[in-house]
Chain A
């Protein structure tokens, strides 16, 4: 019995049988985390491992003893540091939120807590979730568990890192343009970006509000299904949340693949995609074909525009969402100036990192009068077009398949000063956010050099279960 390697389903069984306690589980993860902290190059997946996790586990054990355990009683989870947990700091990886304690909890956290889940800690991330490598964190980059000099991917790099390195069984991340799927792919685990509206955004610090969605990272599809079954569904506090019910999806049922149809858009699976990644995708699609699935290459030219419009819409919304960090109410404040203007400028100049400022500039530019029509409005029109095309595609196909990333995990520092090439790592992922559809990154195995490779499988709105069921079959097959 190995606690830290066990999936949630096994931990749950062991807890139910009284073989282990929640306290033992928390301690096991804590020890593994602390052991790594003493390494020469610690993984740096957690910004904070909660001291009160063990206390919460004690309480959970008492609840279990009293005979009324929740669905997730005693099971632990790590949480990206942009999702509010009342009483704990929430920094978004930024200096500007230094010392800010969440005065309330996000809906997703509340739901998990209500079913007995224990929060292990806050995970590292690119500042305000803006980044693809987890290098833009004021707490330093997280390191890829497969190769410590390589990036984890981002922005939910900390969450992918701790799950991959057995410092947590599952983690919450957040997505705006691939921030769960990309690090999941780089760290060799599963990462689900749910449909826009499947999980409440209440208590998730906003980046691009029309694209943001809390995601779930895990080592097995069933673990993601279990968390989704509790965390998902309509929330009256989020007007954009959808009236969906995931409560019955765990454990995932077996799926009959025969007769299903899969589309592979050439725009995001061929040109510019690493040879090794293409090879692994071939293995997967051959497996599908062998299972009786029709796999077809298709062309969807509008996909080529998705990164361009993403980098208009997301920064536009971000520039507005981040206005509230002004040094007046909470977080960091620079008081060295005289005027209100000084306070704003100095607080934000020092409080925000370079990438965040870059996106605020872009956002303000594309929304400013005279440029609005040319950029923001046009981008929204293309987005509508893209949504329409994607929805048409799902009348003929069940899934859209592609790599999660066109490139293998790269070295820390390699692209940090080249924002454009970093933006291009999002080339396969952003369309799912723009079209509001669910997408799952599936680990396919390792490259020759031992770096993980991931595949993305996207489905129609609210078909998370379908994606996870395919992944479950693959998981049993591949044993990766």
Chain B
């Protein structure tokens, strides 16, 4: 039995949702007919020059602050030189020795406890295009430059991650924050969130620690793929250790690509093939000065982060972990919930209505919580109507539907439509009597031992009262009447 620990560091690329690209005014959007969202700048045509998109810088600062990073007071861009058809300038504008943000951390949950993953750096760079290889006999390849110049953040962690599961929750944590800050849509399938992981094993043997060669694992296009790839890699490195006893000194760093179909990683590049990127300061762009004032402004705009918010919602409102997670996924949604729940003694109920009913409505209408005009206080009023026995849970759903359609007060709807529950015993007795007299066959069936007849009669009562009968009282009266006979 080999005693070992797993060491993982992640490099995450996040595409930013700025309106325009990083260094030109082309629209920044996924897809499109190949080579239509391009201009001389992002195509790297001779003579074209980049101009920094201010929004990209602000998004980077925002992300950095949310990840507890320090923000550089002066930063700059550098050129990373390598040739590839999808890189039209033959270099990528990136950041080398002075990243915009550095020395941060992200706390993650692992096996019920909190672990801190340090973040080494966060920097800005531009995305490349895409090579398209025809899958026929022509052997032709094409390049789509639409993605060129899309602003990216690269977030590099320290090797603080100790299992594939932790790696997944680290990246999920990053995703949650990016979504919360609304700076990226973090869609792994579309590639707006991409993670490469550096992984190796520290093996203890005979009082010595041996490090296996570091593998940079690429092409993990989902959280599931990430977990599988890293587990595979742990096993592979263990096996390699047992068979060959290769260490970091023998191989240095290798690059391996994950194949989702086979669940295996495949060697792509060894250390010898590593390129020398010949970084140097980008002469076409001036250094960027980041004033304290701007950092302060951005810090204020961030507010409470999802994780803190989740903890607070649970302790302050006593809602479930699951509900808290959903509510804290967006600033607007949690704010909506908190306004609705204000001063109400059972916030759990409010959470349920906001998540299930309101969430369902927003989904079906395809609108966001920000676009929803329904005052939060109406949700509370609706729940109070149920609490007070004014309406049944079933009627409440109708009222809710009407409420979202007209954005009107639920009390008003109940009054206007005469939807309030009938709790008056005498009135209900009249109704039940009518139903019993009108359905002698069902009454007979019931007495003959057929229980479903009771349900039918209850249904009739609801039908007559258009659902307004208080079901508990109506049931009692019906029972009494049937037994009296």
Contacts and interface: CB of A to CB of B under 8 A. Distances in A.
Interface of A: 82-84, 90, 92, 97, 100, 102-104, 106, 201-206, 208-210, 236-240, 316-317, 319-320, 322-324, 326, 328-330, 340, 344, 364, 367-369, 372, 376
Contacts of B278: 319-320, 364, 367-369, 372
B51 interface: yes
B46 interface: yes
A155 to B, nearest CB: 16
Given A104-B45, A203-B48, 14 more contacts: A100-B46, A104-B40, A202-B49, A236-B51, A240-B283, A240-B285, A319-B278, A323-B91, A326-B83, A326-B85, A328-B85, A328-B88, A344-B83, A368-B276
Contacts of A103: 40, 45
A322 B47 CA distance: 11
Interface string B87-98: 011110000000
B81 interface: yes
B321 interface: no
Given A209-B283, A320-B91, A324-B90, A84 B46 contact: yes
A12 to B, nearest CB: 29
Interface in B238-282: 276, 278-280
B235 interface: no
For the complex of A and B, 5 pairs with smallest distance between CB atoms: A323-B90, A367-B278, A210-B283, A209-B283, A203-B47
A320 B51 contact: no
Contacts of B143: 328-329
B450 interface: no
B191 interface: no
A206 B91 CA distance: 14
**B44, B85, B286 pick with most chain A CB within 10 angstroms:** B85
A82 to B, nearest CB: 8
B245 to A, nearest CB: 30
Given A104-B40, A239-B286, A326-B90, A202 B48 contact: yes
Contacts of B285: 239-240
Given A103-B40, A209-B283, A328-B143, A323 B49 contact: no
A323 B277 CA distance: 12
B284 A316 contact: no
A202 B47 contact: yes
A288 to B, nearest CB: 36
A329 B286 CA distance: 28
Nearest to B44: A324
Contacts of A368: 276, 278
B45 A237 contact: no
Contacts of A102: 47
B385 interface: no
A350 B143 CA distance: 23
B47 A204 contact: yes
Contacts of B90: 320, 322-324, 326
Nearest to B141: A340
Contacts of B51: 236-239
B49 A201 contact: yes
Contacts of B118: none
A104 B42 CA distance: 14
B43 interface: yes
A344 B84 CA distance: 9
B471 interface: no
Contact of B47 (A106, A319, A369): A106
Contact of B49 (A97, A238, A369, A372): A238
A329 B284 contact: no
B50 A317 contact: no
Interface of B: 40, 43-52, 79, 81, 83, 85, 88-91, 143, 276, 278-280, 283-286
A237 B49 contact: yes
Given A97-B46, A236-B51, A317-B283, A329 B88 contact: yes
Nearest to A106: B47
Majority-rule SS of B interface residues: loop
Contacts of B45: 103-104, 330
Nearest to A364: B278
B229 to A, nearest CB: 27
A56 B196 CA distance: 56
A239 B46 contact: no
Contact of A376 (B50, B81, B280): B280
A106 B280 CA distance: 26
Contacts of A316: 280
A208 B40 CA distance: 19
A208 B283 CA distance: 9
A104 B41 CA distance: 11
A238 B24 CA distance: 11
A239 B40 contact: no
Nearest to A206: B47
Contacts of A372: 278-280
A209 B50 CA distance: 12
10 contacts: A103-B45, A104-B45, A209-B284, A237-B51, A317-B280, A320-B280, A323-B91, A328-B143, A364-B278, A367-B81
B88 A324 contact: yes
Nearest to A212: B283
Contact of B284 (A236, A239, A324): A239
**B83, B88, B90, B280 pick with most chain A CB within 10 angstroms:** B280
A323 B47 contact: no
Contacts of A329: 43, 88, 143
Contacts of A340: 85
A84 B47 contact: yes
Contacts of A203: 47-48
A206 B50 CA distance: 12
Contacts of A83: 47
Contacts of A208: 283
Nearest to B139: A338
Nearest to A323: B90
B276 A369 contact: yes
A332 B167 CA distance: 47
Contacts of B40: 103-104
Contacts of B279: 367, 372
A127 to B, nearest CB: 13
Contacts of B284: 206, 209, 239-240
A102 B48 CA distance: 11
Contacts of B50: 239
A309 to B, nearest CB: 14
Contacts of A328: 85, 88, 143
A367 B280 contact: yes
Contacts of B276: 368-369
B111 to A, nearest CB: 41
A240 B286 contact: yes
B146 to A, nearest CB: 14
Nearest to A209: B283
Nearest to A204: B47
Contacts of B88: 324, 328-329
Contacts of A326: 83, 85, 90
A205 B47 contact: yes
Nearest to B143: A328
A364 B285 CA distance: 21
A280 to B, nearest CB: 36
A266 B278 CA distance: 37
Given A209-B284, A239-B286, A320 B46 contact: no
A328 B45 CA distance: 12
B273 to A, nearest CB: 12
Nearest to B284: A209
A117 B333 CA distance: 59
Contacts of A369: 276, 278
B45 to A, nearest CB: 7
Contact of A205 (B46, B280, B283): B46
Nearest to B286: A239
A304 to B, nearest CB: 24
B84 to A, nearest CB: 8
Nearest to B40: A104
Nearest to B86: A328
